[in-house]
Amino acid sequence: MSDSPPELTVSLWRGAQEGRYETYKVPLRENQTVLDVVTFVQRHLDPTLSYRFACRVGMCGSCAMTVNGRPRWTCRTHVATVADGGRLEIGPLANLPVIKDLAADLRPFFDKWQQAKGVFAPSQTREDDVARVRPDSAARIAADAAIECINCAICYAACDTVRWNSDYLGPAALNRAWALVNDERDAGNPERLRSVAASGGCHACHSHQSCQELCPQRLNPTASIAGLKRRTMWAYVKGEL
Amino acid sequence: MNVGLYVWQRLTAAVMVPLVLLHVIVIFYATRKGLSAADILARTRGSLAWAAFYGVFVVAVAVHAAIGVRNVLAEWSPLKDRDAGILASAFGVLLFLLGARAVLAVVLP
């Protein structure tokens, strides 16, 4: 038996849109996350490696990468749960342009967030009383179910429809729109419903459900999109769209 | 796909559910009873009911299939939305004409 410490064989994407995977040997440690592995490579093996992270505790949504073919939040993904025979292949998020190495350009993702009117439109001013929202109302329960998104873009990278339809707004933007549609303090719904009912909006979704399978926050964007489909359908039938 | 196309595709699908079931029952009935072409034509010619049944069916199929084909073209071919719409509309018109021709052939006295 060999006395050498156990190692991981890690392939990392190097380059931009065009590039190649390069292989590194990284010591295997207990409770090691995928982000730990990437950080080890940059600190000890190749300081030119580019990647993105901030909080390291699963709150900021900035460290998502493609790990062995699937988008994951790397700071909360343990190597032990994803390494395939001691091998890891880590690339930038799919469905987005690559800036360099493991850092994807998230501008299209956030542009679509704006396009879906994912911004709160206040119906009151600071002079008004604080709105009283019943936590057990149906609308608030629906809004709460969709609200904990951390903008990591994992659902966007996992979505087949985004891959083949560049106009599709994607699961996160539509999930956000659904949270606001159910926010009784919001006044932007007529415009929001028009945006998500247009070509590339919620009706482009094929309900493959990769978004909800891979969402690290265990949200269900597919259900949110189904809600938008219902809401916009009735608005269309009533002549409001 | 926008909300208008979505609604029309679902609406025509809902219309087709009972029509398809009845159509399949008609096929089973005609084959198991051994009806000849003449027997069938004797029942359908001059029948407003069969004209309405298959007329609605043809319209629903033409609309439903055209929207579906438009989506497939828009998502899987290099065609732009507008061109996919034109091609799919032409396909829908073709389906309608073929279907309407068949319906007229069996219901006109």
A88 in a structural domain: yes
Among candidate residues A79, A104, A129, the one where a domain is terminated: A104
Contacts of A208 in chain B (CB under 8 A): none
Instruction: Write down the pLDDT at residue A69.
Output: 97
Is residue A157 predicted with pLDDT exceeding 80? Answer: yes
d(C-alpha B63, C-alpha A173), whole Å: 30
d(C-alpha B23, C-alpha A122), whole Å: 54
Among candidate residues A80, A104, A128, the one where a domain is terminated: A104
A39 and A145 inside one domain: no
A124 and A52 inside one domain: no
Instruction: Write down the pLDDT at residue A2.
Output: 59
Mean pLDDT of chain B: 95
CB atoms within 10 A of CB B28: 10
Q: Considering only alpha carbons, which residue of chain A is nearest residue B4?
A: A236
A47 and A119 inside one domain: no
The shortest CB-CB distance from B7 to any of A165, A201, A236 is to A236
Q: Please judge whether B75 and A201 are an interchain contact, meaning their C-beta atoms are less than 8 angstroms apart.
A: no
Chain A, residues 190-229, CB within 8 A of chain B, namely 197-199, 201, 203-204, 229
A139 in a structural domain: yes
Instruction: Tell me the pLDDT tens digit for each residue of A36-89.
Output: 999 999 999 999 999 999 999 999 999 999 999 999 999 999 999 999 899 999
| A70 burial level (CB within 10 Å; 0-12, 13-18, 19+) | middle
> Rounded to a whole number, what is the distance in Å from the CA of B5 to chain A's nearest CA?
9
> Rounded to a whole number, what is the distance in Å from the CA of A52 to chain B's nearest CA?
32
Report the side by side order of strands in the sheet with A64-67.
A19-27, A7-15, A87-91, A64-67, A70-73
A116 and A223 inside one domain: yes
Confidence band of B109 (pLDDT split at 50, 70, 90):
confident
d(C-alpha A202, C-alpha A197), whole Å: 6
d(C-alpha B55, C-alpha B108), whole Å: 12
Chain B, residues 47-106, CB within 8 A of chain A, namely 74-76, 81
Mean pLDDT of chain A: 96
Instruction: Tell me the pLDDT tens digit for each residue of A134-143.
Output: 999 999 999 9
Domain assignments of chain B as residue spans, ordered by start? 3-107
Q: Please judge whether A199 and B75 are an interchain contact, meaning their C-beta atoms are less than 8 angstroms apart.
A: no
Confidence band of A188 (pLDDT split at 50, 70, 90):
very high
Contacts of B2 in chain A (CB under 8 A): 197-199, 201, 203
Instruction: Write down the pLDDT at residue A75.
Output: 97
A51 and A124 inside one domain: no
For range A146-175, the mean pLDDT: 96
A182 and A123 inside one domain: yes
CB atoms within 10 A of CB A239: 6
Instruction: Write down the pLDDT at residue A177.
Output: 98
A170 and A78 inside one domain: no
Task: Show the tokens assigned to A71.
Answer: 């988008």
The percent of residues above 70 in pLDDT, for chain B, comes to 100
pTM: predicted TM-score of the whole model, two decimal places: 0.90
Instruction: Write down the pLDDT at residue A106.
Output: 97
Among candidate residues A70, A104, A138, the one where a domain is terminated: A104
Confidence band of A241 (pLDDT split at 50, 70, 90):
confident
Instruction: Write down the pLDDT at residue B97.
Output: 98
Contacts of B4 in chain A (CB under 8 A): 236
What CATH number does the domain located at B3-107 have? 1.20.1300
Q: Is A69 left (phi over 0), alpha (psi -120 to 50) or beta?
A: left
Confidence band of A207 (pLDDT split at 50, 70, 90):
very high
For range B19-46, the mean pLDDT: 94
d(C-alpha B93, C-alpha A187), whole Å: 42
A2 in a structural domain: no
A156 with A96: CB under 8 angstroms? yes
Q: Please judge whether B75 and A236 are an interchain contact, meaning their C-beta atoms are less than 8 angstroms apart.
A: no
Confidence band of A5 (pLDDT split at 50, 70, 90):
confident
For range A187-199, the mean pLDDT: 96
A206 in a structural domain: yes
For range A155-183, the mean pLDDT: 96
> Rounded to a whole number, what is the distance in Å from the CA of A228 to chain B's nearest CA?
10
A158 and A86 inside one domain: no
CATH of the domain at A173: 1.10.1060.10
CATH of the domain at A43: 3.10.20.30
Q: Please judge whether A236 and B3 are an interchain contact, meaning their C-beta atoms are less than 8 angstroms apart.
A: yes
Q: Please judge whether A198 and B2 are an interchain contact, meaning their C-beta atoms are less than 8 angstroms apart.
A: yes
Distances from the Cα of B89 to the Cα of A13, A99, A197, B55, B63, angstroms = 44, 41, 21, 19, 9
d(C-alpha A127, C-alpha A139), whole Å: 25
d(C-alpha A212, C-alpha A226), whole Å: 13
Chain A, residues 151-170, CB within 8 A of chain B, namely 161, 164-165
Is residue A10 predicted with pLDDT exceeding 90? Answer: yes
Contacts of A197 in chain B (CB under 8 A): 2-3
Whether ipTM exceeds 0.95: no
- Number of structural domains chain A divides into: 2
Question: Containing domain of residue A232, as a range?
Answer: 107-237
The shortest CB-CB distance from B6 to any of A161, A164, A203 is to A203
Instruction: Tell me the pLDDT tens digit for each residue of A76-130.
Output: 999 999 998 999 999 999 999 999 999 999 999 999 999 999 999 999 999 999 9
Is residue A20 predicted with pLDDT exceeding 90? Answer: yes
> Rounded to a whole number, what is the distance in Å from the CA of A209 to chain B's nearest CA?
18
Is residue A1 predicted with pLDDT exceeding 60? Answer: no
| DSSP label of A3 | -
Is residue A3 predicted with pLDDT exceeding 80? Answer: no
A118 and A175 inside one domain: yes
